[in-house]
Amino acid sequence: MSRLSSSLKVLVLAAALAAPAQSALAWGASGHRVVGVVGTRSLPSDVPAFLRTEAAIATIGEYAREPDRSKGSGKIHDHDRDSAHFLDIDDQGRMYGGPMFTVETLPPTRADYETALRAAGTDSWKAGYLPYAMIDGYQQLVKDFTYWRILVAAEKMATDPVRKAWYAADLKRREELLLRDLGTWAHYVGDASQPMHLSVHYNGWGDYPNPNGYTQSRSTHFNFEGPLAKAAGDEAAVTRLMPAYVNCACSIETRVVGYLTKTWKLTEPLYALEKAGGMVETDPRGRAFVQERLAAGAAALRDLVTDAWRDSANGKIGYRPEITVADVESGKADPWNDLYGKD
């Protein structure tokens, strides 16, 4: 991963050193399913057709729930994965720990991030590492699409029946893998549309200055993304609220930062709405807020999948030398050894 975009300077994204790790789920089953289904159904026509069938859309909607469904598998499993769902940010968009540990950009890799956090007396399991989970999943998706493009071209041009059959079988495997990789990653894209997953105020305002008297209820998180999201998660309404795709002509790091920034800024408005009595299933204000957030998650999923597909046109596979999608599609390179294996 290259160094995260300098646009992080605006947000000064970081994890809260003093806050305990979050334990609540992100959107509940209904919310994550809506993000997966609506986002996938909105993909443009240049994205491969196998991803846009009703069966694929439904599958991605279910896989989008998987990182929550797998919780409770065991201490090692949960401890390693739970913190991928969030990033704790304070009210100034900065890290705790004093002026010596205020950051302008997140480190380029999660290993560097971990080193920096440990130097300040905490770690990424407490602070969260959602941006890294999102970028990791995006890069995997680009690679999956790269293999898909090359397999399509290889099968089309193959004259050897044995190789042609293997290409066809491997293409099917790649499509099955894409559904799982995309669907599971969609969970984290959905997490990033939920303001409490980007704030130290992740379940009640907590032990922080609270001049506006926002709720301290420990059921805030669940009520927002569980019963309210289920009641408000109308797919047609969410679809109508989705903004149009915008090609930011930027890196994945920059796009992720912009998305997280918008979500983080809605933390206090969410608590203000709860204080005003609007965060209940029967209040149109609460329904509108949840639907807008679900629409933001679905739009981000659509946009990121679209970008990954288009980025894969320039993708490469293999080692010493790598071969490009363009080389295979033009017939310049034979991908057999890089696909089936040289050894």
Indicate if the pLDDT at residue 18 is higher than 70: no
Residue pair 36/184 in contact (Cβ under 8 Å)? The answer is no
Q: What is the mean pLDDT of residues 273-296?
A: 96
The pLDDT of residue 105: 61
CB 123 within 8 A of CB 112: no
pLDDT at 327 over 50: yes
Q: What is the pLDDT of residues 109-122, one digit of tens each?
A: 889 888 888 887 88
Distance CA 56, CA 61 (A): 9
pLDDT for 187 beyond 90: yes
The whole-number pLDDT of residue 95 equals 55
Q: Residue 90's pLDDT is what? A: 86
Average pLDDT over residues 57-75: 96
What pLDDT is stored for residue 10 in this prediction?
36
Whether the per-residue pLDDT at 23 is higher than 50: the answer is no
Residue (of 75, 115, 90) closest to 13 by Cα position: 90
pLDDT at 31: 95
DSSP bridge partners of 324: 316
**Among 10-14, 128-132, 258-262, 298-302, whose mean pLDDT is lowest?**
10-14
- Across 284-309, average pLDDT: 98
Average pLDDT, the chain: 89
300 bridge partner residues: none
